[in-house]
Amino acid sequence: MRLAISGVGVAAMLAACSAPESTQQERDALARSLIEQKKTTEDATSTATTPDGYKVDLARRISQVNFTSVYVERPQALLRSVIVIKYVVDGDGNLVKSEILRSNRDKHAEASALSSLKSAAPFPKPPPALLKQGRIELSESWLFNNDGRFQLRSVALAQMDQ
């Protein structure tokens, strides 16, 4: 089942990349359908078995909640901004702490990245095996296009060449 869903997602992403032009509404609908693939147990615990897998779950959650700010096309060749945020999630999926690790000092992009992270909390609960002292520390990169929309590196498409 997971492979079938992944295949549909890949096909949809490829179709989006090859489409000459799409409306904002069509892009939003596609983004929503790709992002809404939840992978949690009944008690909202992530089924990820690695920190990177859990990071992908969180990237999908952040993208789902902020779908109007996410772009589904390939990132442009020269990005407007790359913001790297380190954040801590507790065993219940609550955002405990966040801080910017890397930025080009684009205040709008920084605010957008931090806001998108905070608005997506609470997150799926991390599996107990991934916790250290009841928490997990992760970092994620927000890739901003010139129009202010972003993708998260954990779930981003390959960047354009030119």
Q: Which residue has the higher pLDDT, 39 or 27?
A: 27
Residue carrying structure tokens 């809404």: 36
* Domains of the chain listed by start with CATH number: 2-155 (3.30.1150)
Terminal-to-terminal C-alpha distance of the chain: 36
Where does the pLDDT of residue 13 fall: very low under 50, low under 70, confident under 90, or very high at 90 and above? very low
Q: Which of 86, 101, 88, 100 is nearest to 131 (CA)?
A: 88
Instruction: Write down the residue that tokens 């608005």 correspond to.
Output: 119
> Residues 107-128: what's their mean pLDDT?
98
SS3 per-residue string spanning 86-118: EEEEECCCCEEEEEEEECCCCHHHHHHHHHHHH
Q: What is the rounded distance in angstroms from the CA atom of residue 101 to the CA atom of residue 89?
A: 17
The 10s digit of each residue's pLDDT in 63-113 is 999 999 999 889 999 999 999 999 999 999 999 999 999 999 999 999 999
Cβ proximity of 74 and 17 under 8 Å: yes
Averaged pLDDT score across all residues of the chain: 85
Residue 132: what residue type? K
Q: Where are the alpha helices (DSSP H) in 36-152?
A: 51-65, 107-120
- Asked if residue 116 lies in contact with residue 148, where contact means CB atoms within 8 angstroms, the answer is no
Render the burial of 79-94: b for 16+ CB within 10 Å, e for the rest. Answer: bbbbbebebebbbebe
Question: Is the pLDDT at 25 greater than 80, yes or no?
Answer: no
